Amino acid sequence: MNEAEDWQLWAKRPEQEMKCNIERINGSLPEMESTKQLVKLISDVYEPDMKVLDVGCNVGHYLLGLRNKFLELDYTGVDAYEVYIENARKAFSNDPNANFEVKDILKSIYPDDPRDISYCCNVIIHLPDFRRAVTNLLASTKKVCFIRTLLGERTSIVKIPEKAIFDEEGSPLDYYYYNTWEKNYFIDFVKNLGWHTELIEDEFNPDLIKNEYDGIKENIGTTVMNNKQVIGNIICNWVWAKITPINSTE
């Protein structure tokens, strides 16, 4: 990629996110709750010989959970950052059915070779806008796309400063997005692209998430309050969007 934008924390400090995900692959950290639900969702729609695309794959940690269910799944993982792809290739070097490539969700992915199933977890929230990313995702999908992101009753554009460095107008110079989009705005945009959206409640074990936050991850990331996931002072309205072509739902 070119020089990182102010909001591209994962380009500037990739080790910050990569460390935990590598530890999940080697067993030092437990499987994420979202991985468990992703496997369930894909199990409901998967048929033999389908091809699966993981967009924003990081080091491929979701593949580990899928492999426990689908031993010969035809998997492709893509990420915008080469360091993640290099580490994913190392981690899954003995997996003949896994392929990793450097591709940016904000650019064309596989429009000429769409996969049967695609998924994108915990990525859209960190982009300035979801529309180009979702357009590119669906252009690379044949049958079903799963997106895990934050959707709510109102849109909130949130910049979380990584360091207390601000310009003269008070805008942070080193930050990442943690955006929530108004759910009907999201659904209507997807509909205008010719796709139907079904929202599925996010499932998680609150005790497991809180224990990881309190102990293993040393108060970094997401914790749970009143059975809601929170990060800092933000309530995380996680939801899964199951997106299918409109003509397939009629």
Report, as an integer, the average pLDDT of 230-241: 91
18 in Cβ contact with 59 (< 8 Å): yes
Alpha-carbon span 67 to 170, nearest angstrom: 46
pLDDT above 70 covers what percent of the chain? 94
Report, as an integer, the average pLDDT of 245-249: 78
Q: From the CA atom positions of the chain, what is the Rg in Å? A: 18
Please provide the average confidence, as pLDDT, over all residues in the chain: 91
Neighbours of 53 (CB within 10 A): 27
Condensed to tens digits (0 to 9), the pLDDT of residues 70-112 reads 999 999 999 999 999 999 999 999 999 999 999 999 999 999 9
Nearest of 55, 14, 2 to residue 176 by alpha carbon: 14
Name which residue leads in pLDDT, 234 or 38. 38
Condensed to tens digits (0 to 9), the pLDDT of residues 164-201 reads 889 999 989 889 999 999 999 999 999 999 999 999 99
The pLDDT of residue 13 is above 70: yes
pTM above 0.75, yes or no: yes
Alpha-carbon span 13 to 197, nearest angstrom: 34
The pLDDT of residue 219 is above 70: no
pLDDT band at 1 (very low <50, low <70, confident <90, very high): very low
Q: Does domain 9-202+238-249 have CATH number 3.40.50.300?
A: no
Neighbours of 208 (CB within 10 A): 15
pLDDT of residue 205: 87
Name which residue leads in pLDDT, 138 or 236. 138
Q: Please give the structure tokens belonging to residue 103.
A: 């591709």
* Residue 223, strand partner residues: 230
The pLDDT of residue 216 is above 80: no
pLDDT band at 209 (very low <50, low <70, confident <90, very high): confident
Report, as an integer, the average pLDDT of 230-246: 93
128 in Cβ contact with 97 (< 8 Å): no
Q: Domain-by-domain residue ranges, the chain?
A: 9-202+238-249
